Amino acid sequence: MQQRSTHEIRWEPANWQCVALIALLVGLFFHQILLGHAFLWEDFLYQWYPFRQFAAAAMAGGEIPLWNPYTFNGMPFLADIQTQVFYLPLTALALVVRHGQLSVLWLEIVNIIHYVVAGAGMFYLAKSFHMRQVPAFFAGLVYTLSGFMVTHAIHQVIITLVCWYPWILLLFRKSLADARWMWVFVAGIVLGHSFFAGFPQLSLFLYFFLGVFFVHELLATVGLKGLFTRPALVMSAKAISIVVLSLGLIMIQLLPTMELSGLSVRAQITYEKSTEGSLAWSQLLTLLVPKLFGASGAGGYNYWGPGTYWYYWEACIYLGILPLLLTILSMLLIKKNKYVAFFLGFSLFAVLFAFGGNFVLQKLFFYFVPGFSTFRNPSRMSVFLAFGAALLSGFALQHLLYDRRTTHEGKTLKTVLYSSVGGGTLLWVLIVSGSLSSVFPFLQQEKEFVFVRQESFVSGAFFLVSGALLLWFLAKTPRAWAAGAAVTAVLFIDMVVFGGNQNNSPVNPEDYFKRAEPIVRFLKSENEIFRVNTRNTDGLLMDRNQGMMDKIFTMEGYTPLVLQRAYPQVRSGNQMYDLLNVKYVTVTDRENRRLTLQPHSTYLPRAFMLYTIHVVKNEEELLAYLKSPEFNHRTTAVLEKNPAVPFSVPSVAPTWNVNIDGYRNNSIALNVETSHDGLLVLSEIYYPGWKALVDGEETEIYRTDYNLRGMYIPSGKHMVDMRFEPGPYERGRIITLAALTVCVAGIIVSKARTRRASIVGRTS
């Protein structure tokens, strides 16, 4: 027996109105930040803002920031993919740099706009699955305000990438289904550009997801027996073309990043390291009570769950109670909608992978699937739980509001709904009664128990409200505007309660970096190039990335891709400071209990001449010699290969003079005068891609004293020009431009063919 839907559609918002409403709600959610009353915190403060300040200032000055001389004694900047140099929405911030400074508000606005991009993309993706306005809008809001998105607001590289997931899948689907190849080239461009957002782990996850989705679409379209038919081959060609074009587009970034990765401390990680940030089985309960194990936010850390405080955001899988209930109801639609089965399956896969070391799946990928052994924090795969749940809750809401149901289907939906709400209520009772104290010992502590009980009351209230709302839909479908208003209000309030203040820090990043202004002013007052040691075991005198902010040469920094040879492995700290041109070191004033700068008077200049060399055969011999009393860093340079020209020992003490005439991020100009052939040593990090020209003739740069640069200089006066022109970047640029040319030409040709076909059709 059919149960007739009583819903009559009189009005539905237009697409642009839905997107505008998503933008409005995003603005309301982040209004404190947009108004300048609060600021993003943690990694945004310590890493992303300094990165963007450095990059935007350099590009505003007409220079692509290939090299960063100010942190970790110097290291490649663009090659560190997290710097997002070629990610266009951030690249454009160079246009708003004023007097060498980028306002933090501009960067925060751009970050928050990406939430609108995410919501709009999910809305249009849901529409492509034949959802009506209200369910599609709801899907967009679920993804935008999911726990994953909210807690990762401080991770700019994550948000700027995953916001494109819905758009990429939308274009990927359209490319496979549409006869025109234009969409293949558009999809290739968008997929490739998303890689520049700077988070290769989630890019790898995305490529894997697209591969699985392609297999699903191929089998659903042609079946096993049709795998070698023309439609199947065309679909395969399109999918492969999208991947190849996207990979071609990213070579300008990928090749330098691969070179840096092999030379960084993250070149290899163990399986145990890769499991850091794994989701615990007990954290499945945070789908129901998101702060069961406490929280870590801009207001402070109050976390007692598995792992350390940052596991709170890495393992956050909260979706909102209403989306969770709708996702559960969507399971009843598996037979009616092939995409329900797919997204349920991939969401389950995402959760099982997110368990990391607590389940076997991630281990299998680590050892047997290329690329997956490079990253930690497997719980980041849970982004696909948020992605899948957004669409699944939309499918379920579509069914409740618009589809005709049999009496049996209605009863089944009610049974599942009552069971789900009942399960949530039971958990609430167990928590507030203290019955779970033996399972979770932290509940035996009064402070923790009071906190969790309060959070459980909140979750219980949303369970009851959400359950009642869905029962209303089952009893009598309301009008579209009423249903839309109701589900929007419940979800938005739920997520505001959960994370409305998660990222609202009172610390203005601009003010934060100004705290060291007296020290910065003092260091800049000295008309000399030198480095500073800004930390010791007792703390930081300046922020780790202060150097990028104020153009101070520092030994320290903050990025995961630190070079393996960032510091010379010599006998003493003083020798290291000497070689690294460190004029001031941070010391602890025990009497006054504070850190202060102390002069290091024995430091060597940034560039100096040596006339004795010692050649070692391997790294073991190198380390042994550098740590031995025999090594005199003021007279002898240690090389790891025989120089192309012979060095003769001078009969009398030679004289020399070296002046640095020009110093930029990617180049150094020197004027050298020496009375004898020798080795010009620069207290600059040795890295492939640096080239040296002596009087216009290229000369070889030798790795000197473990990690510095040295080059042969004949007697006399010479102009030395050093430039950072990395080969991977140059090769990648050619490939990227070629791929971009192919994409643009493909779009133009495809549109021209479509236009001609349209004209022929009208005139025939």
Number of domains in the chain: 4
Task: Give per-residue pLDDT as tens, 579-593.
Answer: 999 999 999 988 888
> In this structure, is residue 133 part of a structural domain?
no
**What is the C-alpha to C-alpha distance for residues 421 and 609, in angstroms, rounded to an integer?**
77
Residue 635 falls inside a structural domain = yes
Q: Is the same domain home to 254 and 378?
A: no
Convert 341-408 into a string of H (helix), E (strand) and C (coil).
Answer: HHHHHHHHHHHHHHCHHHCCHHHHHHHHCCCHHHCCCHHHHHHHHHHHHHHHHHHHHHHHHHCCEEHH
In a domain, 67, yes or no: no
- Same domain as 704, residue 565: no
Looking at 484, 505, 526, the residue that finishes a domain is 505
Handedness of CA 196, 202, 205, 210 (dihedral sign): negative
Q: Is the separation of the CB atoms in 74 and 551 below 8 Å?
A: no
**In Å, how far are 326, 615, 741 from 706, measured between CA atoms?**
60, 11, 43
Residue 303 lies in a domain: yes
Instruction: Based on the fold, state whether residues 335 and 367 are members of the same structural domain.
Output: yes
What lies within 8 Å, CB to CB, of 214 at 6+ separation is 172, 176, 235, 239
The 3-state DSSP class for residue 442 equals: helix
Which residues does residue 709 pair with via DSSP β-bridges, in sequence order? Answer: 682, 703
Determine phi and psi for 69, rounding to 5 degrees. Answer: -85, 0
455 and 564 both lie in a single domain: no
55, containing H or E segment: helix 49-60
Positive or negative CA dihedral for 496, 347, 314, 136? negative
Which tokens sit at 83? 């710097």
C-alpha span between 200 and 25 (Å, rounded): 30
- CB contact burial 516-529 (16+ within 10 A = b; e otherwise): beebbeebeeeeeb
pLDDT score of 9 more than 50:
no
| The model's pTM | 0.95
CB-side exposure of 658: number of CA atoms within 13 Å?
22
The answer to whether the CB of 111 falls within 8 A of the CB of 157 is: no
DSSP state of 280: P
Q: Dump pLDDT digits (tens) for 273-322.
A: 999 999 999 999 999 999 999 999 999 999 999 999 999 999 999 999 99
Per DSSP, the chain holds a count of helices (H) and strands (E) of: 29, 23
| pLDDT tens by residue, 729-741 | 999 999 999 999 9
Q: Render pLDDT for 411-463 as a digit per residue (tens, 0 to 9).
A: 999 999 999 999 988 888 899 888 998 899 999 999 999 999 999 999 999 99
Alpha carbon distance 272, 716 (integer Å)? 56
255 with 342, same domain?
Answer: no
Domain boundary among 444, 478, 505: 505
Q: Which long-range contacts (CB under 8 A, 24 or more apart) does 441-446 make?
A: 442/293, 442/304
What phi and psi values does residue 42 have, to the nearest 5 degrees?
50, -120
Residues 389 and 437 in one domain: yes
The candidate with the shortest Cα–Cα distance to 286, out of 267, 313, 268, is 313
| Nearest by Cα to 73 from 582, 415, 476, 467 | 582
Q: What is the pLDDT, as a whole number, of residue 461?
A: 93
Please indicate, yes or no, whether residues 478 and 387 belong to a single structural domain of this protein.
yes
The pLDDT value recorded for residue 11 is 66
710, 670 in Cβ contact below 8 A?
no
DSSP state of 591: T
Hunting for tokens 């104020």 — which residue is that?
A: 550
The reported pLDDT for the residue numbered 10 is: 53
pLDDT of residue 639: 97
Residue-wise pLDDT tens digits, 693-715 = 999 999 999 999 999 999 999 99
- Distance of alpha carbon 115 from alpha carbon 412, whole angstroms: 36
pLDDT band at 379 (very low <50, low <70, confident <90, very high): very high
Calculate the dihedral angle through the C-alpha atoms of 440, 441, 446, 447, rounding to the nearest 10 degrees: -70
Task: Note whether 553 and 634 are same-domain residues.
Answer: no
Identify the band that residue 57 occupies on the pLDDT scale cut at 50, 70 and 90.
very high
Tokens of 428: 């609430």
Domain for residue 643, yes or no? yes
Average pLDDT over residues 541-554: 94
The angle at the Cα of 235, spanning 229 to 240, to the nearest 5 degrees, equals 125
Whether residue 153 is contained in a domain is answered as: no
Q: Does residue 97 belong to any structural domain of this protein?
A: no
Q: Which domain holds residue 566?
A: 509-599
Q: How many CA atoms lie within 13 A of 505 on its CB side?
A: 22
Q: Name residues whose C-beta falls within 8 Å of residue 665's C-beta, 6 or more positions apart in sequence.
A: 58, 63, 65, 66, 67, 68, 69, 77, 724
Mean pLDDT to the nearest integer, 219-241:
95
89 within some domain: no
Q: State mean pLDDT over 355-374.
A: 96
* The pLDDT of residue 760: 74
Of the pLDDT bands very low, low, confident and very high (cuts 50, 70, 90), residue 757 is confident
pLDDT-wise least confident of 59-63, 264-268, 389-393, 519-523: 264-268
The verdict on 489 and 420 lying in the same domain is yes
The token pair that represents 357 in the structure block: 């070391």
Quote the CA–CA distance of 384 and 343 in Å, as a whole number.
9
Q: How far apart are the first and last CA of the chain?
A: 50
Task: Indicate whether 463 and 324 sit together in one domain.
Answer: yes
Percentage of residues in the chain having pLDDT higher than 70: 98
Residue 381 has pLDDT above 50, yes or no: yes
The pLDDT of residue 357 is 97
Positive/negative CA dihedral, 596, 599, 602, 607: positive
Mean pLDDT within 190-195: 98
Band of pLDDT at residue 754, cut at 50, 70 and 90:
confident
Give the strands of the sheet with 612-615, arranged side by side.
607-610, 678-685, 708-713, 702-704, 636-639, 612-615
Q: How far apart are CA 250 and CA 549, in angstroms?
A: 28
pLDDT of 2: 44
Distance CA 445, CA 409 (A): 46
How high is the pLDDT of residue 764?
A: 62
Query: Rounded to 10 degrees, what is the CA torsion of 194, 199, 203, 204?
Result: 160
Q: Is the pLDDT of residue 3 over 50?
A: no
* Residue 277 structure tokens: 């940030």
CA distance 408 to 414: 10
Same domain, 466 and 575: no
Q: pLDDT tens digits for 614-644? A: 999 999 999 999 999 999 999 999 999 999 8
Of the residues 505, 539, 563, the one at which a domain ends: 505
* Pairing assessment for the beta strands 697-699 and 702-704 based on DSSP bridges: unpaired
Alpha carbons 101 and 50: distance in angstroms, whole number: 11
Same domain, 708 and 581: no
Name which of 449, 269, 477 is nearest 356 in CA terms: 269
How high is the mean pLDDT of the chain? 95
